[in-house]
């Protein structure tokens, strides 16, 4: 059987070639079936290209607004090698920033980030990035509060089988969108979240969702809540448990630290403001009695709190996660099968799946001799402030003077915030090199662009460490003539630097795949041999084992095994964080208004993950194309918010704030809370100067409008969620025709 493994799961390859659902997948992704449409995308990068201004020595002034000249692969790789050598000789390797992101490939060998890092490490190292846009705030706060062992993606979630058996109430802040569960970083053979949700409902379980958008509620009751106010709601629920004597004093006394100080904060003894349900109701728009009733149910019923990842992608994003830990601890549900706290059920396919998990290798990257790094969401700060410093997790990071940015895999003009600010900072480096298979905005802001084969045009092994499926994914079709893999490009550049043998390590691409698979078999001897694996196309751990493997976070804590926190307990108050003396991240869960530094504009903007693509990937595909209206991304808003603006279905409008303007097609939706606009992320950044002299994005990219301030000085995570924006009719109608001509 021939398999194509993507971020949307496994697919069988049929004649044509075509893709069809994998026979063992109970809920195959319709988005993944459209991958092969990209082979004919007119935006393919087919040859190496160099920007004319860069070749003439313009210093980056015309990046994003220039023309390109075609190069041979030999010319382009020689240019890249010379520029890298110039920068490391004149400025040191810390002047090189290796930019990448993890969604470039589900395959473990053709993983652009791994290929780039191996190459740059061999060339003397580079300034690098840590954490992710998806989970960067949580990754920093959780080790302080519940220990590093619970900070990884999905580590706090009980397994779905335990939830179905033991839990009867899930209170979901931010929702549990099934569309997000289509995706897994290393692919999967079986999407099961929808099945588990149906089993939960059939067992008598109930889900109550607090979110500004009714589409976030997969089943059960939806309570509309003001964007960014989740911390206030959770503190109020903690206050109710405390005031009504419902808090689990035994659990708090045995397994937490700081409970008494946190109680004083809830009662207002430290600041004069009790965090009561009446106090919170005015902040979050949820009736006080609803908050009290939910708190009582959490204490009385077998319950689970689930928080979407979006809540921590916001200003002060540490606080809702910390508050949820406190609420689950006070309710006494932590460490019990199927109960407690989950962060990101349905955020990706694997969270909560009761599987053993694949232990296997990545493409070996070597050791980076350079120690400088930034949190991934602080790339603009790095470029804007050479020689400056950045506070992060109790340390002060130096910001090197970056002269060369090298990007392979990932699209910062999708996943970064405040894109017009990034565009200005992007002119600072001497050189930007990008590997891409299509002309994204990142490629269009590069000096030297290398073409790259699509995932279905190269052979690879796909598997996720949080999943039990492994696939051999041979090339479905060849790439266009002359389009290499990233591995081949880096090998050829390495040859110019005398590093080719070290980079290839004596293996061609086929030999690397067999080597990586052999490493999987070392960890899992029950896997078939290499020839059988390639013949079958896939393997599955425990395929013949009906009983799942339950996960019960904090069960070991209840059994007397301390956490890796300083106290060994769950830290409702952190002395370590208190010692950092941060005004934007106090020593315990605290309500901090994320609107404090925002413009007083009438709407909050939500930018959820799209249903028809992965981030910005597959945006040229048929599902994403059909989801647009007149070529514009669709923004949903409550009808009562659109009527005063004289906007109706399909009208083209401007969403704006001081950071920029982006164009959308509006659609009324009574399920969106009043005062909230919903614009999915992933529209390709497409800036123009309009007839009024304004820089306007035609692509409907919400990150034109989102804040690029870090979540706090603790985590410096992305703060994309719920910026303040305005909405108005289109001022320059000629932009509609410009957009049509550019599609």
Residues marked active site are found at 101, 103
- Contacts of residue 306, defined as CB under 8 A and 6 or more positions apart, other chains included, come to 157, 170, 171, 172, 173, 176, 341, 342, 343, 344, 345
What is the rounded CA–CA span in Å between residue 703 and residue 605?
A: 10
Strands 603-606 and 652-657: unpaired
Burial class (CB in 10 A: 0-12, 13-18, 19+), 331: buried
How far is residue 519 CA from its own chain's centroid? Answer: 28
Cα angle 336, 341, 346 (rounded to 5 degrees) comes to 120
Residue 302: half-sphere exposure toward Cβ, Cα within 13 Å:
17
- Please provide residue 544's backbone torsions phi and psi, each rounded to the nearest 5 degrees: -100, 10
What is the rounded CA–CA span in Å between residue 459 and residue 107?
A: 8
684, 441 Cβ separation under 8 angstroms? yes
Strands 373-375 and 128-130: parallel
Task: Specify the DSSP class assigned to residue 381.
Answer: H
210, 286 Cβ separation under 8 angstroms? yes
- CA–CA distance from 380 to each of 87, 547, 694, 695 (Å)? 20, 48, 22, 19
Number of CB atoms found within 10 A of residue 641's CB: 20
- Contacts of residue 120, defined as CB under 8 A and 6 or more positions apart, other chains included, come to 96, 98, 126, 368, 406
What is the rounded CA–CA span in Å between residue 736 and residue 630?
A: 8
Omega before 17 within 30 of 0, i.e. cis: yes
Task: Specify the DSSP class assigned to residue 683.
Answer: P
Q: State the residue for tokens 């709190």.
A: 305
Query: Over the Cα atoms of the chain, what is R_g?
Result: 25
Number of CB atoms found within 10 A of residue 357's CB: 16
Look up residue 625 and give its two tokens: 């194309």
Residue 210: half-sphere exposure toward Cβ, Cα within 13 Å:
26
138, 343 Cβ separation under 8 angstroms? yes
Mapped onto helix, strand or coil, the DSSP state of residue 400 is: coil
- Please provide residue 176's backbone torsions phi and psi, each rounded to the nearest 5 degrees: -145, 65
Cα angle 562, 309, 416 (rounded to 5 degrees) comes to 120
Burial class (CB in 10 A: 0-12, 13-18, 19+), 626: exposed
Burial class (CB in 10 A: 0-12, 13-18, 19+), 726: middle
138, 131 Cβ separation under 8 angstroms? no
Mapped onto helix, strand or coil, the DSSP state of residue 458 is: coil
How far is residue 85 CA from its own chain's centroid? Answer: 33
Q: Which of 373, 359, 438 is nearest to 117 (CA)?
A: 373
Q: At what angle do helices 486-496 and 509-523 cross, to 10 degrees?
A: 110
- CA–CA distance from 274 to each of 145, 245, 270, 328, 447 (Å)? 23, 16, 9, 20, 56
- Please provide residue 334's backbone torsions phi and psi, each rounded to the nearest 5 degrees: -75, 140
How far is residue 618 CA from its own chain's centroid? Answer: 16
């Amino acid at each position: 059987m021939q398999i194509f493994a993507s971020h949307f799961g496994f697919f069988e390859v049929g004649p044509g070639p075509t893709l069809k659902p994998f026979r063992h997948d109970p809920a195959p992704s319709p988005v993944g079936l459209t991958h092969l449409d990209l082979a004919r995308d007119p935006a393919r990068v087919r040859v190496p290209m160099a920007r004319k201004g860069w070749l003439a020595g313009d210093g980056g002034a015309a990046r994003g607004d220039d023309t390109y000249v075609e190069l041979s692969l030999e010319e382009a790789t020689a240019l890249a090698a010379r520029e890298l050598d110039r920068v490391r000789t004149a400025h040191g390797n810390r002047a090189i920033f290796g930019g990448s992101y993890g969604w470039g490939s589900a395959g473990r060998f053709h993983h652009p980030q791994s290929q780039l890092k191996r190459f740059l490490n061999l060339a003397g190292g580079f300034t690098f990035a840590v954490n992710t846009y998806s989970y960067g705030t949580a990754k920093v706060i959780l080790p302080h509060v519940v220990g590093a062992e619970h900070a990884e993606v999905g580590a706090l979630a009980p397994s779905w089988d335990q939830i179905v058996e033991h839990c009867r109430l899930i209170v979901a802040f931010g929702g549990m969108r099934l569309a997000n569960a289509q995706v897994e970083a290393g692919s999967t053979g079986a999407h099961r979240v929808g099945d588990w949700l149906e089993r939960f409902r059939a067992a008598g379980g109930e889900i109550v969702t607090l979110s500004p958008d009714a589409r976030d509620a997969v089943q059960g009751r939806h309570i509309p809540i003001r964007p960014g106010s989740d911390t206030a709601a959770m503190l109020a629920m903690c206050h109710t448990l405390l005031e009504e004597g419902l808090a689990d004093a035994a659990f708090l006394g045995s397994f937490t630290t700081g409970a008494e100080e946190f109680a004083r904060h809830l009662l207002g003894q430290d600041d004069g403001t009790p965090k009561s349900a009446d106090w919170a109701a005015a902040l979050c728009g949820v009736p006080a009695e609803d908050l009290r009733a939910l708190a009582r149910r959490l204490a009385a019923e077998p319950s689970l709190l689930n928080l979407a990842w979006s809540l921590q992608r916001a200003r002060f994003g540490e606080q809702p996660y910390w508050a949820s830990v406190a609420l689950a601890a006070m309710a006494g549900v932590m460490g019990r099968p199927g109960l407690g706290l989950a962060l990101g059920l349905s955020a990706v396919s694997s969270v909560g799946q009761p599987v053993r998990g694949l232990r296997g290798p990545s493409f070996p990257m070597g050791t980076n001799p350079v120690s400088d790094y930034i949190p991934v969401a602080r790339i603009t700060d790095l470029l804007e402030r050479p020689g400056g410093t950045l506070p992060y997790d109790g340390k002060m990071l130096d910001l090197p003077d970056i002269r060369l940015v090298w990007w392979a895999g990932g699209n910062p003009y999708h996943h970064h915030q405040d894109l017009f600010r990034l565009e200005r900072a992007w002119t600072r480096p001497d050189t930007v090199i990008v590997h891409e298979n299509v002309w994204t905005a990142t490629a269009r802001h590069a000096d030297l662009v290398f073409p790259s084969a699509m995932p279905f045009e190269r052979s690879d092994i796909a598997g996720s460490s949080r999943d039990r499926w492994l696939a051999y994914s041979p090339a479905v079709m060849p790439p266009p003539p002359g389009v290499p893999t990233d591995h081949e490009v880096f090998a050829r550049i390495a040859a110019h630097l005398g590093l080719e043998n070290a980079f290839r390590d004596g293996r061609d691409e086929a030999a690397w795949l067999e080597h990586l698979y052999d490493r999987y078999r070392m960890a899992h001897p029950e896997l078939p041999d290499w020839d059988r694996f390639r013949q079958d196309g896939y393997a599955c751990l425990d395929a013949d084992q009906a009983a799942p493997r339950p996960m019960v976070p904090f069960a070991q804590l209840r059994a007397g095994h301390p956490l890796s926190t300083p106290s060994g307990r769950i830290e409702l108050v952190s002395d370590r964080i208190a010692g950092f003396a941060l005004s934007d991240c106090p020593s315990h869960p605290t309500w901090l208004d994320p609107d404090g530094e925002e413009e007083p504009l009438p709407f909050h903007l939500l930018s959820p993950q799209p249903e028809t693509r992965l981030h910005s990937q597959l945006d040229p595909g048929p599902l994403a194309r059909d989801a647009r209206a007149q070529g514009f991304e669709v923004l949903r808003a409550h009808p009562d918010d659109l009527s005063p603006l004289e906007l109706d279905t399909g009208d083209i409008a401007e969403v704006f704030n001081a950071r920029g303007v982006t164009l959308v097609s509006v659609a009324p939706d009574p399920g969106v809370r009043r005062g909230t606009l919903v614009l999915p992320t992933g529209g390709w950044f497409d800036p123009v100067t309009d007839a009024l002299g304004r820089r306007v994005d035609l692509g409907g990219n919400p990150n034109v409008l989102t804040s690029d301030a870090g979540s706090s000085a603790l985590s410096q995570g992305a703060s994309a969620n719920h910026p303040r924006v305005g909405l108005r009719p289109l001022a320059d109608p000629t932009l509609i025709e410009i957009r049509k001509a550019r599609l």
